[in-house]
Structure 1
């Protein structure tokens, strides 16, 4: 019996899936007594293009080919039904596992008596330049607070400051932290937890299936833990960005379904009406004048700030002007150049960068730019 079954969903990302499997096969797994343990890898292909599927036939894994796109959660449930491992790891295809990540996740799960699931420290790139943000809890309260932050400038500043303080603590931690949510890019659990709490709700075709599952696990009395000493690179949204219009539609559908499921349709309709009214009547004035406009760029930008101060700095990069949430780069000097790898991962659209001093979290400088479609 394998100690661990890793379950991966592929949808037109065969190159990334192959890299992911290679990094997994490089892991060393052992039982508590030190004897080598077996790792099982199951890949579900969600009706990818024929040329993409062809790259999976010689994969060092069990590959299940679907005739139609079942959705992410449904594909993981299919893989779970074939898995033989004591532990199960739900993984995106655009992940890459640093050495000892799997063993560390398992050891941490075992160390907590009522642990439901654990997740790793997630980097945005293999060079470990940028850290991905924590997964924020999704509740009616946080939804209203986020809306207020968009339309009320004073509350927006308080919201951003509180989020950043919490995120910095998360990024700096070297010990496991209990969380309300884990990123669905990489979640390790035990098969007994899945047997008790159930698998993923297949009504969520894409997005929110991990949010819903984590919520149900906590409702059953289990805890969720972030494990910063287990490190994984997550290139983020590589499958969904290929069909952005469809992905956005599914995001909205899943969001509505999530709030209907856990709060009821009447509460959701009330919140939606409140948000619409607040956005129309109390829209906050634009603050983009606070940003240095870099215009449309064809090459990765560089950021710098002239200062006589010495100390530590934090760069935030985000598609939203509040930089909440954002990816993070910690630096000893107020200079940063985006690497070509990170530049490619940005995709197309408008982006913002913010330089913050540490530990006081004072905003020193901000930039905005646009990366247009077709720019490599």
Structure 2
């Protein structure tokens, strides 16, 4: 493929890749971009979030040896400020019409990013677009959602079919196409594992909130965008492979019901306090306790395995008194 030198400040499409301790995944992602995307359309900025391993140098060497420097450059953060702060470091350096945030644990198997940009040009009534996320075998992942609200905590903690059916608006996962993916839709928020954001949204509502170290930052950004009148659109005929687990253990810990890191609960507390006030956070925690009580009764009867993560009853209260200050309390 013939590549054309593009500058991150002038390219029509900028792709931001955040790396933390996952240089092998990031290099594989860059290779997939080189093979399948029209790289003269876009520039790529890789932000290394102060990885303690040799990520920065390894990625730098790969870019140089593969001659990807015509369209890719690397920025090293002086600290690991988290997902929002790392992406913001690149966002402030771009002025392109469209920006795509792309996790390091993704792969592109077709020109889906440039196609997503074309669709955004064709549909100016929406400002945030998401592709279909899928596993390497093509199985779809759930990537479209409803907003978390205090009552959501009851639904999630109870893990009960009747409770879920009683409060459908508080159920986070969006309706699927029957195979785990989604039809074309306008959800409340979408996964930021891969998302296209129109420049005008950033100019109007600002950057991502970097007081979210990790988790809930995508919900917060989408909520702010929707409050400003922007639509969010899911485009299932554009596809990106999402391997998951590149830099955070939260999902695997949740699956194993082990204790999740403090930054997860700090982000949860900030989200509820920011959008529902401290009383909203209090209601969310109380709804969680009620749901946990329902689940515990079922567990005590031997009808189901433990549903909550270790120490979750305690962790949800850690940031209650200062939910909007600090990120690792």
TM-score bucket of the superposed structures, by smaller chain: 0.7 to 0.9
Partner of 1:337: none
RMSD across aligned positions (CA): 3.2
Mapped contact 2:146–2:173 kept (Cα < 8 A): no
Bigger Rg, which one = 1
Mapped contact 1:123–1:231 kept (Cα < 8 A): yes
Mapped contact 2:18–2:104 kept (Cα < 8 A): yes
Partner of 1:276: 289
TM-score (norm 1): 0.67
Greater fraction of residues in strand: 1
The correspondence of residues 19-98 of structure 1 with structure 2, limited to 5 A, is: 19-29=28-38, 37-58=40-61, 59=63, 60=68, 61-98=72-109
Q: 5+ residue gaps in structure 2? A: 1-9, 309-329
Partner of 2:316: none
Mapped contact 1:92–1:186 kept (Cα < 8 A): yes
Greater fraction of residues in helix: 2
1:260–1:141 distance in 2 versus 1, CA, 3 Å: closer
> How far off its partner does 1:168 sit?
2.9
User: Of 185, 189, 208, which aligns to 1:181?
Assistant: 189
1:166–1:284 distance in 2 versus 1, CA, 3 Å: farther
1:289–1:112 distance in 2 versus 1, CA, 3 Å: farther
> How far off its partner does 1:257 sit?
0.5
SS at match of 1:83: coil
> How far off its partner does 1:44 sit?
0.7
Q: 5+ residue gaps in structure 1? A: 30-35, 294-318, 322-376
1:284–1:225 distance in 2 versus 1, CA, 3 Å: farther
1:271–1:86 distance in 2 versus 1, CA, 3 Å: closer
Number of residue pairs matched? 284
> How far off its partner does 1:54 sit?
2.2
Distance (whole Å) between structure 2 residues aligned to residue 64 and residue 260 of structure 1: 33
Higher relative contact order (CA 8 A, sep 6+): 2
Mapped contact 2:145–2:174 kept (Cα < 8 A): no
Partner of 1:166: 175
Partner of 1:250: 263
> How far off its partner does 1:124 sit?
2.1
TM-score (norm 2): 0.76
1:170–1:287 distance in 2 versus 1, CA, 3 Å: farther
Distance (whole Å) between structure 2 residues aligned to residue 288 and residue 178 of structure 1: 41
Distance (whole Å) between structure 2 residues aligned to residue 272 and residue 173 of structure 1: 30
Mapped contact 2:214–2:263 kept (Cα < 8 A): yes
Mapped contact 1:40–1:85 kept (Cα < 8 A): no
Distance (whole Å) between structure 2 residues aligned to residue 148 and residue 222 of structure 1: 31
Residues 146-169 of structure 1: CA deviation (Å, up to 9, x unaligned): 14743x553246679x88892235
Mapped contact 2:16–2:44 kept (Cα < 8 A): yes
Distance (whole Å) between structure 2 residues aligned to residue 196 and residue 43 of structure 1: 25
1:62–1:204 distance in 2 versus 1, CA, 3 Å: same
> How far off its partner does 1:276 sit?
1.7
Is 1:4 the counterpart of 2:13? The answer is: yes
Mapped contact 1:149–1:159 kept (Cα < 8 A): no
Partner of 2:143: 134
Residues 103-123 of structure 1: CA deviation (Å, up to 9, x unaligned): 221122122232111011001
